[in-house]
Structure 1
Amino acid sequence: MSLRIPRIPGVDFLAAGKQLSYLEIEHSDNAHDAAVIPSPIAVLSGGTGPTVLLIAGTHGDEYEGQILLQELIRSIDPDELTGRLIVLPALNIAAVREGRRVASVDGVNLNRALPGNAGGGPAEQIASIVAEDLIPLADFVMDIHSGGIASEYVPSAFVYPGPTQELWAEKTAAVAAFNVPYSVVVKPMLKSGSISGAADRAGVPMISTELGGRGTVSLWILDRARKGLRSLLGHWGLLTGGPSPERSAVRWVELTSRSPVNSTMAGLFEPTVELGQCVTAGDIVARVHSVEELDRPPKEFFAPIDGVVAIVRHPAPVNVGTTLVNIAVDHGTNHPEGNYVTS
C-alpha cells in the first residue's frame, strides 16, 4: 500500500536537498489576524534510505530539544544523509512563543491531543498532521521533551513498553544508541493522546526523552544529548561516516501508579532528596510548610516504594494534589523484558 504524501506548502517530500517551510495552522484571533499560525518544518533528503521524524516544542517551556533540532537543521548537509529527515523544532509554536507548556490560544496539551482533528483548534490541527500525515511517513520517530518550568527529570530516554516484541527490541536498541544516563519506562496509555501512543498504534518505533527541566538548559545534558542524537541517527541508518561513539550503561527505571508523592496540603515545598538518589519505602522525601499558620510544623511526605528519585518538582508553592516527587522502580542496567509485550 502506498503512503499518502502530505501536502505542506513549500515542501516536496520526494525532492532531494534541504527545504524549510511551515505547517499552516488555520486560526484567526486578535494575535493571528492572518488566520494562520506558522509552525516551522524542515525536510532534508539525501537519497534512498529510512525516514526519521524528529519533534521538539510539543510543550513550549521545554528547551533542550528545540535547541538540538535547530542546530541539526543548520549543521547537516543533505549529502550526509542516506534517507530523509523531517524536523519539527517548535511543534506547538504558539506555546513556544509564550514559553508555556500549553498555548493560551486554546489551552490544549498537544501531547494529549492525538490523533487530533483537522477541523479543530490549533493543537488539534497540529496533532492531526503529526498522527495522520507524518508518523505514517516515518520509519522512526523521536519526540524530545524535558521537565519544563514545573519539574526536573533525571536525563533520560522515555519509552512506552511493547506493544510487540519487535517494536520493543527496536526501542531498547534506540535507547542504547541515544545513550543518556537513564531510560524511563512508563506503561502505555498512562497518558492518553500522546505522540508515543500514536506511534505505537501506527507500528512505528519511537522513543521520547526527558532532558532535565526547570525551564532552563543544562549545558552537560545538552552536550550529552547532542552526541546521543547523532549516534541515534547513525543507528537508524540515516547518518553515515562518523566515528563510533563511546557508550556507557543506561540505567532503566520505571514509573508506576505508585510513583507519585502528592501533597495533601497547600504551602511551600522543601525537597529532602536529590534527583537520582536511591530511597527506601518510608524515607522522608519532602516537607511542605504552611505559609499562614506560623505555629504549624511542616508536613512530611514519604517514599511509597523503594527506588530512584526520577522527578522533582521545581516551583516551591504547592497545593493539595500537587506532585512533589516521583519514585521510579530501579531495574539497573537490564531493561524490563517480556511482561511488557501485549502481542
Structure 2
Amino acid sequence: MTSLIPRIPGIDFDGFGKQLGYLEVEHSDNENDAAVIPSPIAVIRGGRGPTVLLTAGTHGDEYEGQVLLQELIRSLGPDDLDGRLIILPALNISAVREGRRVSEVDGVNLNRALPGRKDGGPAQQIASIVAEDLIPMADYVIDIHSGGSASEYVPSAFVYLGPTEELWAEKISAVEAFNVPYSVVVKPMLKAGSISSAADRAGVPMISAELGGCGTVSLPILARARKGLRSLLAHWGVLRNGSRTPREPVRWVELGAGSAVRSTMAGLMEPLVELGQSVSAGDVVARVHSVEELDRPAKDFHAPLGGVVAVVRHPALVNVGTTLVNIAVDHGTTPPKGDHATS
C-alpha cells in the first residue's frame, strides 16, 4: 500500500504527526458539474504500533459517535500514540449534513454498500475507499452507531459472531475493554454490505457500537462511551495513557431472526416496555392505535421469545411492517459461543 491514496489527496499515511484532510467523493448533479463532496478524515501517528480505523456518521442521524470522534481528533496528538489512528467522524458526509440515515443525494445506505464501486454514486465511492484502501491498512476497526431518529438501543457494543475462533476471541476482549453496559451479538456476516462484514472478510478484528438514539445525544451514554473508547484504544496498544478505571461486567444479549416485533397495523405505537427490561414470551410489549378508525380497537403485540428489550422504536407513527421493538436472548455476563465461530 502506497502512503499516498489518490482519492484522499494530501494525506501521507506513512507520515508522523497530525494530518487533516478529506476524501474526494466525485458527484455531478443539476447544480454541480463534477463537484467534490469532501468527507473529512484525520490521521494521527506517533509511533510504529498498530493502526486503528475509527468511523462514525455512517448514518447521518446518529450523533454520539460523531461527537466522540471529533473530540478525539482535537484532544489527541502524536505524543499520545504508539501507533496510528485513521478517524472519519462524518463518513457519509451528505447524510450527516442532512441529519438523515441515508442522503437524498443518492438514497444509498452506506452500511449496506461495501465493497462499493469506484465509479458509483457518493456512498458507493466512500464504501469503496473504506473497503479497498482503509480497512487493509488497519489492525483494528470500530464503527460507532446509534439508533438514529427511528429507534433507541441499549448502550452497547454490537458485534458479528465469528467468523473464526481467533477473530471472535479478539472481539470479546475488545468488547470487554470498551465496557459499555451491553454487547449485542448477531449472526456471522449478518449484512454482507456492512463495514463489519468487510472487516470480517479482511480478517481484521472489529466491533461496532449502538449508543442510544432518538436523534439526539445522551450525556450519560456519551460519558460512558468516552471512557470506553480510550480504554479500547489502550487495549489495542495504540493509546499510551489509556484509562485504567475498573471495568464493570458486560451483559451479552443476542439478536436473531425471531427478535423483531413488527406491526401488522398502521397507526400510533404505544410502547409498553422500557429498554433493558426483561420480558417473557407472550408478554405485551407494544400497542398500536388506529388514527382514523375511531371504533377500531387497539392491537396488542407480544414478545416472540423471552429476553431483554434491546431496541425500541422512537417515532410513534408506524405502518404495516414497521419494527416496534426487538427482543434479545439474554446470555448474562457470558459471551455466546459455539459452532458460529468456525475456522
TM-score (norm 1): 0.98
Tell whether the 8 Å contact from 1:114 to 1:193 is kept in structure 2 after alignment.
yes
8 Å CA contact retained: 2:272, 2:284: yes
Q: Is 1:116–1:131's contact at 8 Å kept on the other side of the alignment?
A: yes
Deviations 1:192-251 (A, max 9, x none): 200000000000000000000000000000000000000000000001134412200000
1:215-234 alignment, distance < 5 Å: 215-234=215-234
Hey, what does 1:322 align to over in structure 2?
A: 322
Structure 2 match to 1:337: 337
Q: Distance in 2 between matches of 1:113 and 1:31?
A: 25
1:173 alignment partner AA: S
Residue 34 of structure 1, CA deviation: 5.8
| 3-state DSSP of counterpart to 1:11 | strand
Cα displacement (A) at 1:339: 2.4
Tell me if the contact between 1:4 and 1:133 (Cα under 8 Å) persists in the aligned partners: no
Q: Which residue of structure 1 lines up, in the alignment, with residue 125 of structure 2?
A: 125
Q: 1:342 offset after TM fit, Å? A: 2.3
Greater alpha carbon shift after TM alignment, 24-33 vs 287-296: 24-33
Which residue in the other structure is 1:261 paired with? 261
The separation in 2 between residues aligned to 1:160 and 1:266, in whole angstroms, is: 32
Deviates more, 1:213-222 or 1:7-16: 7-16
- Asked whether the 8 Å contact 1:311–1:325 carries over to 2, the reply is yes
Unaligned residue ranges in structure 1 (runs of 5+): none
User: Structure 2: which amino acid aligns with 1:166?
Assistant: E
**1:236 matched residue in structure 2:** 236
> Could you report, residue by residue, the CA deviation over 1:73-126 in whole angstroms, capped at 9, with x for unpaired residues?
000011110011000000000000000000000000000000000111100000
Give TM-score, length-normalised by structure 2: 0.98
What amino acid is aligned across from residue 104 of structure 1 in structure 2?
E
Report the CA distance between 1:338 and its aligned residue. 2.7
| 1:7-86 matches, cutoff 5 A | 7=6, 8-33=8-33, 35-86=35-86
Aligned letter for 2:225?
A
What secondary structure does 1:53 align onto? strand
Inter-partner Cα distance in structure 2 for 1:144 and 1:73: 15
Letter of the structure 2 residue corresponding to residue 152 of structure 1: E
Identity of aligned residues (%): 77
The equivalent residue for 2:214 is 214
**1:63-212 equivalent positions in 2, closer than 5 A:** 63-212=63-212
Change (3 A) 1:333 1:139: same
3-state secondary structure, aligned to 2:244: coil
Moved more, 239-248 or 40-49: 239-248
SS in 2 for 1:340: coil
Gaps spanning 5+ residues in structure 2: where? none
* Paired AA for residue 328 in structure 1: A
Contact (CA 8 Å) 2:282, 2:305: kept in 1 or not? yes
